[in-house]
Structure 1
Amino acid sequence: MASTRQPGRTGSQSVERAIAVLYALEGEDRPVTVSELAGRVDLPVSTTHRIVQALVRGGLLARDGHSAYRIGDGITALAQTAAQRINIDAAAPHLHLLSSGIRITASLGVIDNTDAVTVYSARPPSMFCTHQLPGRRTKVEGSAMGQAIVAFGHRRDRRLGTIPDVASTRQRGFTVSSAGGVTAVAVPVFDARGQVRASIGVQARSARLNEDLIVRIQPAMRQAAEMLRDAVAEGSARANFDRLLPATI
């Protein structure tokens, strides 16, 4: 009897099953066994095992112990790549408006591997302020902008361990770092689906950017982050590095 299987169906079915296995781990704080995954996706254990091994080889899952699995670093890497898609032309006016309103340089940052990268910086027109050149890199753990992205990003990101008291950071809605007499504050920028894609950071001398001022500028920073929601969904920040110039208005 002739086969009734449609061409290409086997391949697409395998992809659909792999996606189902990945989503079965969403929100999990502990490693999950193949048997548990099989039950969640309603597949035979043998089939689930083959899918899991393929995902491990691709870096999307990682073995944790002898028989349990967790989300792999490949997922985080893919998320970081997506975070680079930013329309600088759309973001710039909002950063200039913010810097002018709070009279502090405002910068936009993304994460590239282990670094926080400044992709645009807007200096207020009425006074001299510290300026971050586009392309400047800082280790995530030493950057308020980098910490804001990690703290509000994927809950399985291993870099969360570099951020003190993540729960409190998420509750207050911003990150703070101080070094060498300079204080930096950053808020996350989310896309339309609620995924963190970038961050807005400001920095000034610690004597000026004290606790009182940090609190007072938060509404403006959060409003700017909200206005950037559409800008982080398109474009390529990395591709635009060569044409980014220090902000002057």
Structure 2
Amino acid sequence: MANPKPRLKRDSTTSAPTGQSVTSRALALLGTFDSEHPRLTLSDMASRAGLPVATAHRLTGELVSWGALQRSGQDYLIGHRIWQLGLLAPAHQGFAELAAPYMQDVLFVTQNVVNLFILDNDQVLLLERMSGTRVGAPFRRVGEHLPLHASAAGKVMMAFGESDVLEAGMASLTQLTEHTITAPQQLRREIAKVREDGYATTSQEAGAQNYGVAVPVISLNGRCLAALGVVTLERPASVGAVVPVLRIAARSIARRLSMSTES
């Protein structure tokens, strides 16, 4: 009888198999970074990636040499080469460039930070942002994610996207602040109101002193492509003044996108 095939051993602190390829291990190290962990030590990276420290040290050195990572003291950060590659992604290059002039119009009229979000699995991704010297510091950076249930953009996606988007948002109601909606029935009522009103708002649900308003970008065939919104600090924006401007810009973006796909 043939001997059974040996099973891959796993590191005791993680679920990552030790039989991974070099490529998958390097990608695992890059995948340890996110909006909540923009800086990590070598030991933190190794732990989060499920790799021995010695392996992480060797691969990290190669990633730094290539420009995928950069070192700052004892910490590591995402490097410029990853940023440059990200700018080439079709989702960023096409959609963001097309939307930029209309986002600029919203910034000019409202004097608020303007954000463009797209759906990314069970979160929303900040694809593009417009801000000026007089509108204050942006709350999020391009490339960061927000939960569906705690962001105006996420609520828009839940209200106007496919039914599975709503269920995905309902499945993980993490409390980020004391104002975050974590009760399923309350969130369902909120999403129903968003459908009725045509826009979503947040009031310190993702961060203290952070207020958001967003509207859907709906394609000509009725698909929700993105969420366009503004964010303000310390006090909410005037819905009556901001929402009409956002709607005009959202319709213009949808039309331009339709024209670009037809040409």
What TM-score bracket applies, with the shorter chain setting the length?
0.5 to 0.7
Judge conservation of contact 1:96–1:124 (CA < 8 Å) in 2.
Answer: no
Does residue 215 (structure 1) correspond to residue 243 (structure 2)? The answer is: no
Q: How far 1:215 sits from its partner (Å)?
A: 1.9
Mapping of residues 1-249 of structure 1, within 5 Å: 87-124=95-132, 126-130=134-138, 132-157=140-165, 158-159=167-168, 161=170, 163-165=187-189, 166-179=191-204, 180-207=208-235, 209-210=236-237, 213-233=238-258
Q: How far 1:205 sits from its partner (Å)?
A: 1.9
Q: How far 1:95 sits from its partner (Å)?
A: 0.4
Q: How far 1:128 sits from its partner (Å)?
A: 3.0
Q: Deviations over 1:148-171 (max 9, x none)?
A: 112111245413646341222111
Range with greater deviation from structure 2 (127-136 or 181-190)? 127-136
RMSD over aligned CA atoms reads 2.5
Judge conservation of contact 2:148–2:169 (CA < 8 Å) in 1.
Answer: no
How far apart in 1 are the matches of 2:150 and 2:159?
A: 13
Q: How far 1:130 sits from its partner (Å)?
A: 2.4
How far apart in 2 are the matches of 1:231 and 1:160?
A: 29
Secondary structure (helix, strand or coil) at the match of 1:133 reads coil
How far apart in 2 are the matches of 1:184 and 1:113?
A: 21
Q: How far 1:87 sits from its partner (Å)?
A: 2.3
1:113 and 1:160, CA in 2 relative to 1: closer, same or farther beyond 3 A?
closer
1:206 and 1:190, CA in 2 relative to 1: closer, same or farther beyond 3 A?
same
How far apart in 2 are the matches of 1:159 and 1:232?
A: 27
Q: One-letter code of the match for 1:222?
A: R
Q: Deviations over 1:41-78 (max 9, x none)?
A: xxxxxxxxxxxxxxxxxxxxxxxxxxxxxxxxxxxxxx
| Same amino acid, percent of matched pairs | 20
1:156 and 1:198, CA in 2 relative to 1: closer, same or farther beyond 3 A?
same
Secondary structure (helix, strand or coil) at the match of 1:230 reads helix
Judge conservation of contact 2:200–2:213 (CA < 8 Å) in 1.
Answer: yes
List runs of 5+ in structure 1 lacking aligned partners. Answer: 1-83, 236-249
- The alignment covers a number of residue pairs equal to 150
Judge conservation of contact 2:213–2:243 (CA < 8 Å) in 1.
Answer: no
Q: How far 1:232 sits from its partner (Å)?
A: 4.5
With a CA cutoff of 8 Å and minimum separation of 6, indicate the structure with the bigger relative contact order.
1
List runs of 5+ in structure 2 lacking aligned partners. Answer: 1-90, 171-183
Judge conservation of contact 1:176–1:186 (CA < 8 Å) in 2.
Answer: yes
1:149 and 1:125, CA in 2 relative to 1: closer, same or farther beyond 3 A?
same
How far apart in 1 are the matches of 2:164 and 2:122?
A: 15
- The alignment's TM-score, normalised by the length of structure 1, stands at 0.54
How far apart in 2 are the matches of 1:90 and 1:156?
A: 28
How far apart in 2 are the matches of 1:132 and 1:228?
A: 22
